[in-house]
Amino acid sequence: MLVIENLHADIGSKSILKGLSLAVNAGEVHAIMGPNGAGKSTLAKLLAGHEDYVVTGGTVRYRGEDLLALEPEVRARSGVFLSFQYPVEIPGVSNTTLLKAALNAKLKHEDKPEMDAGSFLAFVKQKVKQVAMEPKMLQRGVNEGFSGGEKKRNEILQMLVLEPTLMLLDETDSGLDIDALKVVADGINALRSPERATVLVTHYQRLLDYVKPDFVHVLAGGRIVKSGGPELALELEEKGYGWLEAAA
Amino acid sequence: MNFFDSCRNSIPQDQHAQRVDAFARFEAAGWPTPELESWHYSDWSGLAEQSFAIAKPALDPVFALDRAQPLTLVALDPVQTATHFALDALNRAFAKQGVDKTIDGVANIPFLITHALAGEQTMRHLRHRLALSAGAKATVLIWDAPGAGESDTLLTAVLTLTLAAGSHLTLIRVQDADPKATRALHLKAHVAADATLEMVQLDFGGARVRQETEVTLAEPGARFEQTGLAALTGKSRVDQRSHVWHAAPRCTSRSSARLIAASTSKAILNAKVQVQPGAAKTDSETRIASLLLSDKAEIDAKPELEIYADDVQCAHGATFGQLDEDAAFYLRSRGLSAAEAQSLLTQAFAQAALDRLPLPGLKDWAEQRVSSLLMASVAAVAP
Pairwise CB contact (< 8 Å): B329 & A50 = yes
Going by DSSP bridges, is the β-strand pair A90-94/A141-142 parallel, antiparallel, or unpaired?
A: antiparallel
The answer on pLDDT for A247 being more than 70 is no
Q: What ipTM, to 2 d.p.?
A: 0.95
A50 touches chain B (CB under 8 A): yes
Average pLDDT over residues B342-361: 89
Is there a contact between B340 and A162 if contact means CB atoms under 8 Å apart?
no
pLDDT digits (tens, 9 = 90+) for B35-69: 988 899 999 999 988 888 877 653 344 443 333 34
A31 touching chain B per CB within 8 A: no
Please enumerate in sequence order all residues whose Cβ is within 8 A of that of A211, keeping only pairs 6 or more positions apart, or say none.
Answer: A29, A185, A188, A189, A198, A200
Question: Is residue A158 less than 8 Å (CB to CB) from chain B?
Answer: yes
Name the residue in chain A with its Cα closest to that of B340. Answer: A101
CATH number at residue A181: 3.40.50.300
Helix A178-191 × helix A148-162 angle, to 10°: 10
B-chain residues within 8 Å CB-CB of A81? Answer: 333
Domain count, chain A: 1
What are the residue ranges spanned by the domains of chain B?
A: 2-321, 326-383
CA–CA separation, B88 and B93 (whole Å): 9
CB-based contacts of B276-279 (< 8 A; 24+ apart in sequence): B276/B245, B276/B246, B276/B247, B276/B308, B276/B309, B277/B308, B277/B309, B278/B248, B278/B249, B278/B309, B279/B217, B279/B246, B279/B247, B279/B248, B279/B249, B279/B251, B279/B308, B279/B309, B279/B312
Find the domain containing A224 and state its range: 2-247
B134 pLDDT tier (thresholds 50, 70, 90): very high
Helix, strand, coil share of chain A (percent; to 5)? 40, 30, 30
Contacts of B132 (CB under 8 A, 6+ apart): B102, B103, B138, B161, B162, B163, B164, B167, B168, B169, B195
Q: What are the tens digits of pLDDT across the range A113-157?
A: 999 999 999 999 999 999 999 999 999 999 999 999 999 999 999
* Per-residue pLDDT, A38: 87
- The minimal CB distance from A84 to the residues B330, B332, B351 is found for B330
> In this complex, is the C-beta atom of B334 within 8 Å of any C-beta atom belonging to chain A?
yes
Best probe of the A interface among B334, B337, B374, by most A CBs < 10 A, is B334
Bridge pairing between strands A2-11 and A80-83: unpaired
| Percent with pLDDT over 90 in chain A | 80
Report the mean per-residue pLDDT for chain A: 93
B229, B324, B329, best to mutate vs chain A, most A CBs in 10 Å: B329
pLDDT tens profile A18-41: 999 999 999 999 999 988 888 999
Average pLDDT, chain B: 86
Query: Is some CB atom of chain A closer than 8 A to the CB atom of B350?
Result: yes
Give Cα B27 to chain centroid, integer Å.
25
Is A71 in Cβ contact with B338 (below 8 Å)?
yes
Reported confidence tier of residue B70, pLDDT bands at 50, 70, 90: very low
pTM above threshold 0.90: no
* Predicted local confidence at residue B5, as pLDDT: 67
**pLDDT value of residue A125:** 95
pLDDT tens readout for residues A192-209: 999 999 999 998 888 999
pLDDT score recorded for residue A63: 96
